[in-house]
Amino acid sequence: GDLGRRRCAMFPLSLLKVTEGQPMLVETKNGETFNGHLDQCDTWMNLHLKEVVCTSRNGDRFWHMPEAFVRGTTIKYVRVPDEMLAKAEEEMTRQEQERSSGGGRGRGRGRGGPGRDGGGRSGGRGGRGQRGGRSQGAKQ
């Protein structure tokens, strides 16, 4: 296929996020394989799989498990359906377009500007208040 000709850089976590709920194969560094549906992944690439078939490293034993947790540091590789590559690419393109058009996160009112109460940094939450951190009755 055209998988070798893709120009878009793909991050593993973005690919795994769109693969949640889909079948996948995980091979660990010790040679065991886990075939199941990805339920969740976290930022350390730890995977929680459901409906799992585990195969021993030499392929002679199989276990069926309702769920399995695979630690990210033990993963050698993952195999996901080809459609997930295209879906992850679309998601990354959509996020780039949001960033360049000014949408998405990070476009709030910023720090120190006038807020709902009309004030800047004085008063409201945090800060030192009106008298340099002392309460009104604390004059010496």
pLDDT tens-digit readout, 60-81: 999 999 999 999 999 999 999 8
- Which residues of the chain, if any, have pLDDT below 50? 1-5
What is the C-alpha to C-alpha distance for residues 104 and 98, in angstroms, rounded to an integer?
6
**Residue 91, both tokens:** 């998601």
Beginning with the edge strand found earlier in the chain, give each strand of the sheet holding 47-55 in spatial order.
62-70, 47-55, 33-41, 23-28, 75-79
For tokens 């034993």, what's the residue?
61
Res 90: pLDDT: 86
Tell me whether residue 52 is exposed, middle or buried, using C-beta atoms within 10 angstroms of its C-beta: 0 to 12, 13 to 18, 19 or more: buried
The token pair that represents 18 in the structure block: 């769109």
* Phi-psi region at 95: left, alpha or beta (left = phi > 0; alpha = psi -120 to 50): alpha
Output the pLDDT for position 7: 52
